[in-house]
């Protein structure tokens, strides 16, 4: 059995602006497999009472509460005081921290401003968790059955303290998670194929997450024999996924495409219209992309399609820039830039530019290799952003498939 954990992100900017907390995602990942499962997360204001209420409520129902943010030097930073109030603990200035703080400022040629000295305040009975990346340390206190941990909100400091000073002290738990990553599929298609496996492994151990043209199957097992059961699940679901499976766990679709190309010692070039560079951007998101990716052309105008990709003017005149023949000609143009594989995307991303014959969402994708030419036509749902993301994902998917086939 795993212990329920909760997460509190402190920061008014997380409530008032479009900024989102990401520390909780890292925490969920690191805690899993160490005997914890996240049951709740919250964002609260930089307010002593709000922090106190959140910690009090969560400490009553979780075995671990992580509190992120509000440990800095400004008047807004009141997490220490809020947690102290929640747990009925005192706060005192800790001379070794005060000295370290003074030394740190002196090294920068400055005196510590009096208000900044609060970063040397420690909760009664707290264990101090060193912060090699910043000024304010983490703090750990026990409150009955619950452990409450205060961590800085700056992501690199949060991650460093959590991964170095907290996670290693909790034993690795039997039980694990495996993610199967599929591309070129819809959620309902996958659901229908894997449904027969639910009875065998338990519906509650499978989560389906759908992106645009992407589906992740999150498989979980816990308790005794978990590893073996997870391995059986992995094999069964992988068989159901078939050729739509491109990788496991943290493997991105771009990385899977690069791995396929590397295996064949092929290089890829792109010709993009409606995606405007997003496909190239994804292909180069992984280190080492230059081994398999030469680059390409963003041919947003027809003039560039003709000039840099040698798309025949007759094709553009007869079929239009958004057409199968144009996509194939663009992919061939890309291949001729000095690659063994060329991929092209052309479409109507919207909101304008649609017609009855080619409504918004119409996208043609083509891929060519020395041995094959492949073209697919789609009508993607959603707004401009959605259509472009669908198109990028399905272009990567098509490359993956043609390179695998050789």
Q: Taking CB under 8 A as the criterion, which residues in 43-72 touch its own copies?
A: 43-45, 50, 53-54, 57, 61
The residues in 309-338 that bind its own copies, with binding defined as CB under 8 A, are 337-338
Q: How far is the CB of 38 from its own copies (least distance, A)?
A: 4
Residue 13 near its own copies by CB under 8 A = yes
CB of 96 to its own copies, least distance (A): 28
User: What is the C-alpha to C-alpha distance for residues 166 and 59, in angstroms, rounded to an integer?
Assistant: 18
Backbone angles phi, psi at 381, to 5 degrees: -85, 165
Kindly state the smallest distance separating residue 189's Cβ from its own copies, in Å.
17
> Min. distance of Cβ 300 from its own copies in angstroms?
4
Closest CB to its own copies among residues 191, 231: 191
**Minimum CB separation from its own copies for residue 80, in Å?**
20
Task: Give the strand pairing for 175-183 and 362-368.
Answer: unpaired
Among 1, 17, 114, 371, binds its own copies (CB under 8 A): 17
Site for its own copies in 175-194 (CB under 8 A): none
Residues 158 and 28: their CA atoms lie apart, in Å, by 13
> What does R_g of the chain's alpha carbons equal in angstroms?
27
Check if the beta carbon of residue 21 is closer than 8 Å to that of residue 14.
Answer: yes
Among 352, 356, 357, 371, binds its own copies (CB under 8 A): 352
In whole angstroms, the minimum distance from the beta carbon of 107 to its own copies comes to 17
Instruction: Return the closest-CA partner of residue 344 out of 255, 275, 263.
Output: 275
For residue 377, state whether it binds its own copies (rule: CB under 8 A). no
Choice from 99, 307, 310, 312 touching its own copies (CB under 8 A)? 307
Task: Report the C-alpha gap between 334 and 268 in whole angstroms.
Answer: 8
CA distance 394 to 406: 18
Provide the phi-psi class of 48: left if phi over 0, else alpha when psi is between -120 and 50, else beta.
alpha
Cβ nearer to its own copies, comparing 9 with 368: 9
CA–CA gap between residue 241 and residue 219 (Å, rounded): 13
Q: Does 19 bind its own copies (CB under 8 A)?
A: yes
Q: Which of 186, 385, 405, 406 binds its own copies (CB under 8 A)?
A: 385
Contacts of 303 (CB under 8 A, 6+ apart): none
Instruction: Please tell me whether residue 234 binds its own copies under the rule CB under 8 A.
Output: no
d(CA 388, CA 278): 8
| CA-closest candidate to residue 216, choices 237, 195, 192, 236 | 237
Q: Using CB under 8 A, which residues numbered 266 to 305 contact its own copies?
A: 270, 272-285, 287-290, 293-301, 303-304
Question: Residue 106, interface with its own copies (CB under 8 A)?
Answer: no
Q: Is 113 in the site for its own copies (CB under 8 A)?
A: no
């Amino acid at each position: 059995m795993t212990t329920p954990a909760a997460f509190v992100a402190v920061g008014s900017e997380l409530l008032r602006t479009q900024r989102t907390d990401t520390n909780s995602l890292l925490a969920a990942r690191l805690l899993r497999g160490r005997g914890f499962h996240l049951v709740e997360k919250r964002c609260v204001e930089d307010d002593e009472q709000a922090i106190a209420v959140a910690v009090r409520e969560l400490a009553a129902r979780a075995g671990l509460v992580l509190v992120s943010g509000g440990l800095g030097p400004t008047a807004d930073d009141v997490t220490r005081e809020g947690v102290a109030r929640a747990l009925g603990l005192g706060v005192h200035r800790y001379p070794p921290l005060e000295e370290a703080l003074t030394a740190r400022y002196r090294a920068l040629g400055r005196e510590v401003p009096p208000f900044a000295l609060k970063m040397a305040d420690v909760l009664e009975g707290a264990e101090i968790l060193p912060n090699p990346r910043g000024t304010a340390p983490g703090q750990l206190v026990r409150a009955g059955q619950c452990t409450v941990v205060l961590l800085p909100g700056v992501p690199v400091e949060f991650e460093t303290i959590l991964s170095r000073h907290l996670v290693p002290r909790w034993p690795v738990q039997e039980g694990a998670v495996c993610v199967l990553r599929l591309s070129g599929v819809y959620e309902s298609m996958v659901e229908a194929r894997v449904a027969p496996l639910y009875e065998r492994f338990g519906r509650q151990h499978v989560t389906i997450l759908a992106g645009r043209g992407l589906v992740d199957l999150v498989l979980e097992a816990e308790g005794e024999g978990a590893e073996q059961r997870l391995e059986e699940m992995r094999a069964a679901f992988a068989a159901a996924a078939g050729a739509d499976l491109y990788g496991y766990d943290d493997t991105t679709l771009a990385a899977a495409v690069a791995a396929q190309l590397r295996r064949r010692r092929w290089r890829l070039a792109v010709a993009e219209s409606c995606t405007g560079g997003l496909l190239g951007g994804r292909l180069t998101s992984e280190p080492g992309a230059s081994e398999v990716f030469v680059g390409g052309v963003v041919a947003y105008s027809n003039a560039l399609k003709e000039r840099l990709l040698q798309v025949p003017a007759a094709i553009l005149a007869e079929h239009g820039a958004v057409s199968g023949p144009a996509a194939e000609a663009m992919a061939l143009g890309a291949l001729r830039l000095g690659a063994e594989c060329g991929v092209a995307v052309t479409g109507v991303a919207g909101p304008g530019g649609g017609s009855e014959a080619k409504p918004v969402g119409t996208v043609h994708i083509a891929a060519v290799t020395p041995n094959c030419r492949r073209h697919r036509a789609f009508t993607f749902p959603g707004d401009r952003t959605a259509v472009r993301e669908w198109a990028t994902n399905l272009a990567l998917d098509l490359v993956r498939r043609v390179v695998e086939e050789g």
